[in-house]
A and B are shown apart, each in its own frame.
Chain A
């Protein structure tokens, strides 16, 4: 059974640029949630995707957007990057109706 994978591992971008992060969910999981984790903080919920539609969003602006594909993989897109967007971005996959969420290794984004 393949776990949750994310790419790229690290990324450095300039303020104002756009970035796309990718996540492949664990085999058999149909729901993907994205979290932002600033240094020394707990993960903060960005949004969740189920059946290729957004299924809930946290307190993040519209420049954070996402997609889920028929194979349940997902993308997180961030436009007009700001310095405060520098963080570890985690995706977690789960099965609808079961609570456990399993995290991928994350993408470390640095905005300069």
Chain B
């Protein structure tokens, strides 16, 4: 089953914050977050492992709630470069994971 992402699309002004959610009906071992710009490859942002961890770098962070099988990606003080489609990919075992991706959240940052 494909994870469900919300919202499907969001438009922000530069400097505003955004939260993107990813929810799965399956027990998860890991959640992977990617950003993809039109016509380009998905770029790896971060991976979170079960254990309810949080991670972050620069102004992008994420949390993983293993019990709820949910993850959230937080973008603070958004920059124009943050525009793109964000995908969560879920894995059910660690090592050589076969990711199941959500349908994506399109984020548009306007000046």
Contact = CB atoms under 8 A, between A and B. Distances in A.
Interface in A57-112: 58, 90, 94, 96-97, 99-106
B47 A96 contact: no
B98 interface: yes
Interface size class of B (residues with CB under 8 A): 20 to 34
Nearest to B31: A99
Given A44-B101, A99-B30, A90 B42 contact: yes
Contacts of B64: none
A42 B41 contact: no
A41 B42 contact: no
Contact of A42 (B87, B91, B95, B97): B87
B58 interface: no
Given A42-B2, A94-B96, 9 more contacts: A4-B41, A31-B96, A33-B98, A33-B99, A90-B42, A94-B97, A99-B95, A103-B34, A103-B42
